[in-house]
Structures are given as C-alpha cells and as structure tokens.
Amino acid sequence: MRYLLALAVLTASSTWAHVYLDPGTGSFVLQLIVGGAIAAAATVRLYWERTKEIARKLLGGTKAQPPGR
C-alpha cells in the first residue's frame, strides 16, 4: 500500500516531460492495436466453439451433419 501511495505522490508531483516520439512509434502502436484485435477475435472464436460443444453435451443435442450425409 505504501508503494502505491508513493507512486501516486510522485506521479502527481511530476512536471511536463519534453520527449521526442520517433515516427515509427505510431506504426508500432498501430501494430499493437491490430494484433491485439486479431488475438482477441481468435480467443473469442476459440471459446465460443468450446461453449457450444459443452452446451450440446449438456442439452443432449447432436452435432449438425454436413449436407449430403
């Protein structure tokens, strides 16, 4: 708790920092956003399929057969 309080005091008492952001920083941030969105979508899809399988087992349903079988 003391560390959190010390961090809050140091953050509140800091002055403006004049920093240089490299032009590549924007593309790096964009890559992080796009990569994070793709990873989140893949995770959602993975768990959605598992949730459907569990629901089928619990409810006693059968897996849908592809047409022509």
Query: Is 47 among the domain residues?
Result: yes
DSSP H helices, the chain, are 2-12, 24-59
Query: Is 33 among the domain residues?
Result: yes
Query: Is 56 among the domain residues?
Result: yes
What phi, psi does 17 have (nearest 5°)? -105, 130
The pair of structure tokens assigned to 26 is: 């924007």
Domain count, the chain: 1
**pLDDT at 39 (0 to 100):** 97
**pLDDT at 42 (0 to 100):** 92
Query: Is 12 among the domain residues?
Result: no
Range of the domain at 47: 24-60
What is the arithmetic mean of pLDDT over 48-59? 88
**pLDDT at 31 (0 to 100):** 96
**pLDDT at 15 (0 to 100):** 76
Predicted confidence (pLDDT) per residue in 6-43, tens digit:
888 888 877 777 778 788 988 999 999 999 999 999 99
Query: Is 5 among the domain residues?
Result: no
Does this model's pTM top 0.75? My answer is: no
